[in-house]
Chain A
Amino acid sequence: MSNTSTEQANRFISLKDIKKSSFIALWFMFLTFPIMVIKVNTVNNTVEWRWANMIIIGVASFILSHVWRLFMNRRDGKLSDEQKGGQTVEKLTLRQKLDQKPVVAKSLSYAVLVLAIIFPLISGMYQTSIMITALLYVVLALGLNIMIGLSGLLVLGYIVFYGVGAYTYALLNLHFGVNFWVALPIGGIFAMIIGILIAIPVLRLQGDYLAIVTLAFGEIFRIVLENWNDLSFGPSGIANIPRPTIFGLDLNVSQATNLTYFIVLAFVLVTIFVIKRLEDSRIGRSLVAMREDEIASEAMGIDMGKTKLVAFALSTFWAGVAGVIFAGKTTFINPSSFTMWESILVLCMVVLGGMGSIPGAIVGALIITLLPEYLRAFSEYRMVIFGVVLVLVMVFKPDGMIPSIRQKYEFKKKPESNMKEAE
């Protein structure tokens, strides 16, 4: 079985593949027939038959399908080679190569850091502003990663806590004139409190049920904001939120944007540092244990209820702080910034990057926020390309762009254990 698939991968064209691709091409020609071929000219009351379109569709879908098949074959061939074990030279991932050369890894990360610091100086305000958004999503992805990647709690309404942070700053500023720096921790803590309040009723839920309930909470939050005019000013939102300043200086828009950029960057670094420490800590281990097996964790003396609350609290804090920065950056917030779609997007970042991996979450967030931005040149096709990229990543790298080191380790070790058992 594995032999034939490898042979197929090596051969450029096989009869079976051609047959399948032709079938798919025919099917697409049939499917698109009504829209691509028939065109009713209502002025002259005639019907145009555009057969050329049909041929183009047929050829295009044949080629696409064949290329797809070729890649899939190659991937399966690779997999079966790995399963045969032993003989094939182990291919190291970029991450593993970097781990083996700590000097390179270190200088590389410093280079990235330096680049990130001088970024606003070498690019315009528009670029900086995009980068701020991207970095805010990095924080969100890192925060959600605590819940999904580390603790295995599938939470869908994560953007709620981002919204809580943003509204905390906006309202505190509106009513009490609280400035950005004071609001920053308050927003985080407030999001944390809401997180714990939501966590208490869902403590007993797992998996899909948890996802559904948190999804519902997300919607409730948005609907309440849209309708509670006295508090949130409804869909018209809150405007004129002051941008962050420092030392009481009067900054113009572009200076304030740069300042916001540095605040977010610093915050990203703090988040990375804290989460890295968390992963190696006792709490981090209890989160991982909870993800792996709840009953076993309980048998080990880990309090499941407390651990879940800790996961929620730790995760939602970052979203709250990011929300405050978001409000300060845009100076205007309304409920439409905190929809389902945003929650799903953050979830995509975590999954695309690789669950439970810090660099994964960062790369995932950057790809998902920056890709549609830089694809603007393709105007209306950009979301299509975006979708195709997501599908391709998930097909060819199902563990994400940069899978967490645990999973990689397993792949490295597997052939050895197989061999031992075979002996």
Chain B
Amino acid sequence: MLKIENLETFYGNIQALKGIDLHIEDGEIVTLIGANGAGKTTTLMSISGVVPPRNGKIILNGKDITGTAADDIVSMGLIQVPEGRRIFSELSVAENLDMGAFLRNDAAEIKRDMEYVYQLFPILAERRHQHGGTLSGGEQQMLAISRALMAKPKILLLDEPSLGLAPIIVQQIFDIIKKINQEQGTTVFLVEQNANQALKIAHKGYVMETGRITMSDTASNLLADDEVKKAYLGI
């Protein structure tokens, strides 16, 4: 589904990604874990076209999308949920969801998807007329994920959905991610610091350190790996 070869991204003279290879199959949940400043967010930004890479290749469904504009990539079904949620705080919940369906024209299906999203997160249905900015952190994250779902993603890129949320909410959000993957068959690429939770729902995992992929394996193997345990799981 998504293949990344030797990806290198720079911020000015500083090299954030030093040649990354990733491989995501259709219908998988793949997680990328690593410490602060490892380059996880940069990887996502490069894939979604917000920060164009300098070298390397990004191949989506057999098509080279390196250097394609961000909005064109979205229209190909690769949707990003940006770090820190970034919902439209002065728009209502329903309007936020509407913005997610910006590139779609099928009114009937948009409505159906909105119902699906409300069913996934009943709290959003309850607050559909409330401003995005008045929601709590967890609800905002739910809204951000829902907004991305409204774009009918084939592959969903999630950037730290657990950021700043209470453990119980984190659990809830990860359950939903798993549910979306199972029910809709959406491929999920999950960037996380919360390695334990992420590896629990993922099929495959990559570990990243200072711009390089240092380890890749199935999620269960990584969970059992001694080094990963020591460095990221705190066990």
Interface residues, chain A, with chain B CB atoms under 8 Å away: 282, 285-286, 288-289, 292-293, 295-304, 406-407, 409-410, 413-414, 417, 421
Q: Is the CB of A413 within 8 A of B147?
A: no
Q: Which of A296, A299, A303 contacts B69 (CB 8 A)?
A: A303
Nearest Cβ on chain B to A416's Cβ, whole angstroms: 8
Q: Mark B146-184, 1 if CB is under 8 A from A, else 0.
A: 011001000000000000000000000000000000000
Q: State the total of A-B contacts with C-beta under 8 angstroms.
A: 81
Q: Is the CB of B86 within 8 A of A410?
A: no
Q: Is the CB of B130 within 8 A of A301?
A: no
Q: A288-B88, A300-B147, A303-B71 are in contact. List 11 more A-B contacts (CB 8 A).
A: A285-B98, A288-B91, A289-B88, A289-B102, A292-B88, A296-B82, A296-B86, A296-B88, A299-B80, A301-B74, A414-B134
Residues of B within 8 A of A298 (CB): 50, 70-71
Interface bracket on B: 20 to 34
Residues of A within 8 A of B99 (CB): 285, 289, 297, 300
Interface residues, chain B, with chain A CB atoms under 8 Å away: 48, 50, 69-71, 74-75, 79-82, 86-92, 95, 98-100, 102-103, 127, 129-131, 133-134, 136, 147-148, 151
Q: Is the CB of A417 within 8 A of B130?
A: yes
Interchain residue pairs with CB less than 8 A apart (23): A285-B95, A288-B91, A289-B99, A289-B102, A292-B90, A292-B91, A293-B89, A296-B82, A296-B86, A297-B99, A298-B70, A298-B71, A299-B48, A299-B80, A299-B148, A300-B100, A300-B102, A300-B147, A300-B151, A302-B71, A409-B131, A414-B134, A417-B130
Q: Once the chains are docked, how many angstroms separate the CA of A304 from the CA of B50?
A: 11
Q: Is the CB of B102 within 8 A of A299?
A: no
Q: Is the CB of A413 within 8 A of B103?
A: no
Q: Is the CB of B89 within 8 A of A292?
A: yes
Nearest Cβ on chain A to B29's Cβ, whole angstroms: 20
Q: Once the chains are docked, how many angstroms separate the CA of A285 from the CA of B92?
A: 12
Q: Once the chains are docked, how many angstroms separate the CA of A304 from the CA of B70?
A: 9
Task: Considering the complex, give the chain B residue whose CB is closest to the CB of A406.
Answer: B90
Nearest Cβ on chain B to A68's Cβ, whole angstroms: 32
Q: Which of B88, B100, B129, B136 contacts A421 (CB 8 A)?
A: B136
Q: Is the CB of B88 within 8 A of A299?
A: no
Q: Which of A282, A289, A410 contacts B134 (CB 8 A)?
A: A410
**Most chain B Cβ neighbours within 10 Å, of A295, A303, A406:** A295
Q: Is the CB of A293 within 8 A of B130?
A: no
Residues of B within 8 A of A421 (CB): 136
Residues of A within 8 A of B87 (CB): 293, 296
Q: Is the CB of A299 within 8 A of B131?
A: no
Q: Once the chains are docked, how many angstroms separate the CA of A414 from the CA of B71?
A: 34
Q: Is the CB of B86 within 8 A of A299?
A: yes
Q: Once the chains are docked, how many angstroms separate the CA of A41 from the CA of B80?
A: 78
Q: Once the chains are docked, how many angstroms separate the CA of A302 from the CA of B133?
A: 21
Residues of A within 8 A of B69 (CB): 303
Q: Known: A292-B90, A298-B70, A300-B74. Contact between A286 and B131, CB under 8 A?
A: no
Residues of B within 8 A of A300 (CB): 74, 99-100, 102-103, 147, 151
Q: Known: A409-B131, A410-B131. Contact between A299 and B74, CB under 8 A?
A: yes
Task: Considering the complex, give the chain B residue whose CB is closest to the CB of A414.
Answer: B134
Residues of B within 8 A of A297 (CB): 99
Q: Once the chains are docked, how many angstroms separate the CA of A413 from the CA of B93?
A: 13
Q: Once the chains are docked, how many angstroms separate the CA of A292 from the CA of B131?
A: 12
Residues of A within 8 A of B71 (CB): 298, 301-303
Q: Once the chains are docked, how many angstroms separate the CA of A224 from the CA of B163?
A: 53
Q: Is the CB of B79 within 8 A of A417?
A: no
**Most chain A Cβ neighbours within 10 Å, of B80, B88, B127:** B88
Q: Which of A293, A304, A413 contacts B88 (CB 8 A)?
A: A293
Q: Once the chains are docked, how many angstroms separate the CA of A297 from the CA of B70?
A: 10
Residues of B within 8 A of A285 (CB): 95, 98-99, 102
What are the 6 A-B residue pairs with the smallest beta carbon separation, nearest first? A301-B74, A292-B88, A296-B86, A303-B71, A301-B103, A301-B71
Q: Once the chains are docked, how many angstroms separate the CA of A288 from the CA of B132?
A: 14
Task: Considering the complex, give the chain A residue whose CB is closest to the CB of B83.
Answer: A295
